[in-house]
Structure 1
Amino acid sequence: MDVVQTVSAATQIVSCMIGAVGALEQASRGLEEASKTVKSLEELVCNLRELINGFEQKHVNKVASSQLDRQIQSLSELVQQMQTKIGKAKRMLSKNKVKKFSRVVWASMVGDPFLKLVQSIRNDLNWWLESQQLYRDVEKTIETGAMRVPTLLRINSEPGYPISSKCRYIKKLLELEDSHRVILIVGLSGIGKSCLARQVASQPPSKFMNGAVEVRFGQWCSRAACNGSKIEYQKRLAKKICTFLVNIGVGKKVWEETNGELENACFLLQEALAGKSILILLDDVWEQDIVERFAKLYDNGCRYLVTTRNEAIYEITEAEKVEICKDDLKEISREILIYHSLLNEEELP
């Protein structure tokens, strides 16, 4: 259920509750009918709570939006108020059942306070409807707000991979305002460059408001794999960039829009990242050209983690270089062994 359906359903429930409150006022002098109506109100409140929980679970990956937060918060507060007042109404009715007051005594001793409580419930429900403007234009208003909220991009870390000292060091580099936009993570094949990069990107610094995203290039996207063919290499690189654009939500027909041309893809990439703040992981890069194409993009707050085994890429001067060495392996491998073996540190050989 999306935000529009959620609020629309909530509006219907609140409207039903107002109708039930009207019935409760009519039934306030009849104990049995009043009890049934209070129970109906209680069920409607439970339905509202389920709507809120379902919405929050579905949209947990959305970037924070103060407008949507306020709308859901106001609905949650309404539910809490209703639970309190309906509970009070149930206690009033329960006391009357126990003492078996006559109808006259019920009206004289409980009628007025009970009617005041019912009116208070009605006022709360009407206030919520009015404050949220949940009438004919409510769906369009909230739908427009929800459409403007971008999805928070995420990268998952490898299971059991620890937060090492090298990981903390890279995060500090990312938090510095005057450091290079590109951080090269270098080392031998299979030494753990990608795992380290994913661990860093799985919990990016808060400055990356749009989250983190990964694009893996591999040897397939290299001139060597294309037998030196520039046209084939550019076609493969364009395909990788188009896939990246789809992953960040640009659209599903990017390849058709760019006609598979590298320059068109790069132009669209510039437009897509303008104003964004994303930590971008360029994994297993074989060509210096790839890093340079991303690094020269402007009007954005993006930074780039680059993993590579190609020494030619090490020569990029406008980049911080972080090398994984044997000491890093010792630190990381012990933590990984503890995780997968289910042993504690004292039990390791």
Structure 2
Amino acid sequence: MPFLEALSTIGEVFVSKLIDFFLDKLASSDLLEFATEKQVREEIQMLENELKQIRRVLDDAEERQLKEQQVKDWLIDLQNLAFDLEDVLDEFATEIGRRNLMMERRGSSSKRSRFSIPNPFNDVLFNRDIMSKIRDLTSKLKDLEPQRNKLELRMTDCERPTRLEQRLQPTSLEIENHVYGRDKDKQTILDLILKSDDERNFVIPILGMGGIGKTTLAQLVYNDASIQHHFHLKAWACVSDYFDVLRITKEILQSITAVSCNDNDLNIVQEKLQKELSGKKFLIVLDDVWNENYHEWTILQSPFKTRTQGSKIIVTTRNHGVSSTMGA
């Protein structure tokens, strides 16, 4: 089980990637073309629906597992079931492969007909066995529902939100005072911020897959006592995948001045921000960046060009291309 084993070696639990992988498999054309038995299709559909419901809470669960052991325990239970689910999908793949091989030997060239050759004995046994396993898995997933509800996990769409307004954005404020297992990572970033004025370290990325705690780590650094007296100004802006330069610039300006900005002319807003930053050492956090467009990044950083040496930008992102684009 290379896919599961590779992810399960990481300290935290990342079931969302597994569920995405399984949903893709369950919706694959080969599987749907193969599962012609009505009852098998119905069992697959019920399993798929249950997985979609679970997927909607995983982004929140994977973020909270760093601070809440009960959430992590629930994710571990879910991951254990994921191993069983992969076994079932492997059985499908093996049976599809077996039938493909039979078709090749019979000289068939039609992809559609390769699953339609009668093989009543094998079909009955396989369908009966696979339905039982799928039904059992769906039941076990449903058994996790009471605990899921008790944890009050926040629900999102099955796919990644595509607009800032679709989800509650993290802020610079820490949710809890104690976060375990991030001391070394935090100190590494603090050293880059406090001990290096090298321009090559102007942009410091926190890079990793969803749920790994990038925002939490940025919050810990942003609120650390050693930071408070090192910079003249601090600002926090949530970017998301909707990279609106005007909105982000206004958010940075408002974070610094604590005054609402009603201007909608980018040039005016950037001039105001540049005036606030001029002659001051600043720390800016850009949280959850997806955009890889170098031109848009160049426009956004225009007010930073006259920055004081030692100023820093922390970027949290899931995408290595973002880090490269921003010159980290």
Answer yes or no: same fold by TM over 0.5.
Answer: no
What's the TM-score once normalised by structure 2's chain length? 0.40
What's the TM-score once normalised by structure 1's chain length? 0.38
Rg larger in structure:
1
